[in-house]
């Protein structure tokens, strides 16, 4: 080891002022080391003082860091300190890939730190010395501003106790990121792919795959099984794969490593390493996770336990997903607005028509569509779109009569059932709704227009619910085609 390295280890970890966390890293060349302006405006900066300042900065870097470097856009070394960086002759390394020179094998994701476009502080990596020894180090890097680009950074040896603390924190962040991703998705199964990407990157897997194996009972005597358990198992089916699909999976045998939880295993053979996790979830079979690496002897029990713990978080949210999906399947109310959903509204109209036929009473179906909701979602986000739908339901409740029934049919269409209302009554309400529109108070106030189509069933008509709804949809389509912000009345019964 070089004298520079011995000095750095004797002083311990790098001083906090050099480690990032919002503080810029030290530049990596004598020209960068020089101050940009004098502290005293009257002080004249001469070549001698500039050189002295640069040397002082350089000494501080060498006293605390194993190496300081700059690369170009492609990660090729352009500047390097000290003269013997990790035991290598620095001049012989210029023009070579920093990742190939310094990174130990089995860290495919760490190579991006030498070509980063965003600051990355406190990254724990394995570095290779000239003697082929491996040391653990903290890497702090940031992009070089300007058109030429590139990266500058420093690497500092990390004591074992600091490594343990950093690894624990990193694993906790992985679990927190997975849980947050799954919880923010609706339904949670929509967060499976980002969760798989997170666990794959955390363990530097070359390939990552997650799928479920439904447990269906096909022995139903030729009759369709409609029990909640059977429907839930059929409703949850996924198979996600990240990375090359040409890998051969290491064989799981009697010599495969198994751990206390019995759900995690590590298999190794000439094909590389495999972490496999299997967890059964209620009503929906078994979820399987496979992580693979080309190298052998790269994972231990702590890695398998991290994969298992992540899968516990994922499967717990999937169980909630299955139960929630089954509840929504049989529900008659929209979970977002509290209004009737499509099935609930259609069922209500059918039952009401049966009664109104006997009473010889007219009724109308009014469909209100939000114009340009898709573009609004892309501009302001899905949450703003949900807010718009809720605002529409609130507005309709204020405008229509208390006995009128509201239902949300699709993402941007809300229906109103108005008993005893003829064409003239509905026209008055439709005109009022179109004039009101949908004011939205966001960061920048905006206004969404509304289109309306409605159909009226005469007092002595025997028209069924499907026909009535079809006519209302045709009228809404005509209003949309007319440019929106207007209402159309459906023609007579088909």
- Residue 215, pLDDT score: 65
Residues facing 210 on adjacent strands:
240, 289
Q: How far is Cα 360 from Cα 482, in angstroms, rounded to an integer?
A: 34
Instruction: Please tell me the predicted confidence (pLDDT) of residue 311.
Output: 92
- Residue 280's pLDDT is 87
Task: Give the model's pLDDT for residue 369.
Answer: 96
Predicted local confidence at residue 99, as pLDDT: 87
Could you write out the DSSP letters of every residue in 413-463? EEEEEEET--HHHHHHHHHHHHHH-EEE-SSS-EEE-EEEEEEEE-TT---
* Residue linked to tokens 């509905």: 426
| 324 φ/ψ angles, rounded to the nearest 5 degrees | -65, -40
In whole angstroms, give the CA distance from residue 324 to residue 412: 22
What pLDDT sits at residue 445? 74
**E strands, 107-195, in order:** 120-128, 134-143, 151-157
The pLDDT value recorded for residue 132 is 80
155 Cβ contact list (under 8 Å, min separation 6): 65, 66, 67, 69, 102, 125, 127, 137, 138, 139, 140
Helix (H) or strand (E) holding 400: none
Which segments in the chain show pLDDT lower than 70? 1-62, 106, 108-109, 159-167, 215-235, 246-247, 254-262, 442-444, 493-494
Q: Residue 378: what pLDDT?
A: 85
| Contact residues for 175 (Cβ-Cβ < 8 A; gap 6+) | 306, 309, 310, 313
| Chain segment 429-473, per-residue pLDDT in tens | 899 889 888 887 766 678 899 999 999 999 889 899 999 999 999
pLDDT at 2: 38
Locate 78 and state its tokens: 């352009």
306, 203 Cβ separation under 8 angstroms? yes
Q: What is the pLDDT of residue 47?
A: 46
Q: Which residue spans within 145-244 are E strands per DSSP?
A: 151-157, 207-213, 239-242
At 109 the pLDDT is 64
The Cβ of residue 485 has, within 10 Å, a number of other Cβ atoms equal to 15
pLDDT at res. 235: 62
pLDDT confidence of residue 485: 92
Domains and CATH numbers, the chain: 3-158 (3.30.450.20), 164-330 (3.30.450.40), 342-489 (3.30.70.270)
């Amino acid at each position: 080891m070089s004298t520079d390295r011995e000095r750095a280890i004797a002083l311990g970890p790098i001083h906090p002022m050099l480690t990032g966390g919002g503080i810029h890293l030290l530049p990596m060349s004598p020209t960068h080391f020089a101050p940009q302006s004098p502290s005293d405006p009257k002080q004249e900066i001469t070549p001698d003082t500039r050189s002295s300042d640069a040397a002082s900065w350089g000494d501080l870097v060498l006293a605390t860091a194993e190496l300081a470097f700059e690369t170009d856009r492609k990660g090729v070394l352009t500047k390097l300190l000290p003269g013997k960086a990790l035991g290598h002759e620095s001049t012989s390394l210029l023009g070579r890939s920093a990742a190939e020179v310094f990174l130990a094998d089995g860290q495919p994701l760490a190579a991006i730190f030498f070509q980063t476009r965003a600051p990355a502080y406190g990254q724990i990596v394995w570095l290779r010395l000239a003697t082929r020894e491996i040391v653990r180090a903290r890497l702090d890097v940031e992009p070089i501003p300007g058109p030429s680009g590139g990266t500058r950074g420093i690497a500092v040896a990390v004591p074992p106790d600091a490594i343990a603390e950093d690894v624990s924190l990193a694993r906790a962040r992985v679990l927190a990121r997975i849980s947050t991703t799954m919880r923010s998705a609706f339904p949670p199964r929509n967060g499976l792919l980002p969760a798989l990407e997170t666990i794959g990157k955390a363990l530097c897997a070359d390939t990552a795959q997650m799928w479920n194996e439904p447990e269906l009972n096909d022995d139903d005597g030729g009759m369709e099984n409609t029990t909640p358990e059977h429907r839930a198992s059929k409703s949850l089916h996924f198979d996600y794969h990240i990375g090359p699909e040409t890998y051969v999976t290491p064989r799981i045998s009697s010599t495969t490593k198994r751990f206390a939880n019995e759900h995690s295993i590590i298999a190794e053979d000439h094909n590389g390493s495999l972490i496999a996790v299997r967890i059964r979830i209620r009503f929906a079979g078994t979820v399987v996770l496979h992580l693979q690496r080309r190298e052998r002897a790269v994972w231990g029990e702590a890695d398998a336990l991290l994969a298992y713990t992540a899968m516990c978080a994922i499967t717990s949210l999937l169980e909630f997903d299955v139960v929630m999906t089954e509840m929504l399947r049989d529900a008659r109310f929209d979970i977002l607005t509290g209004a009737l959903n499509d099935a609930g509204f259609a069922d209500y109209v059918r039952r009401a028509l049966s009664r109104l036929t006997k009473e010889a009473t007219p009724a109308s179906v009014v469909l209100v569509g939000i114009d340009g909701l898709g573009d609004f979602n892309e501009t302001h986000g899905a949450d703003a779109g949900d807010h718009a739908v809720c605002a529409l339901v609130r507005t309709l409740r204020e405008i229509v009569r208390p006995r009128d029934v509201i239902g949300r049919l699709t993402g941007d269409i809300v229906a109103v059932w108005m008993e005893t209302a003829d064409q003239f009554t509905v026209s008055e309400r439709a005109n009022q709704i179109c004039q009101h529109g949908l004011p939205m108070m966001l960061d920048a106030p905006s206004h969404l227009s509304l289109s309306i189509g409605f159909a009226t069933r005469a007092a002595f008509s025997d028209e069924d619910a499907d026909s009535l709804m079809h006519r209302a949809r045709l009228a809404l389509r005509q209003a949309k085609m007319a440019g929106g912000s207007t209402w159309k009345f459906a023609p007579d019964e088909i």
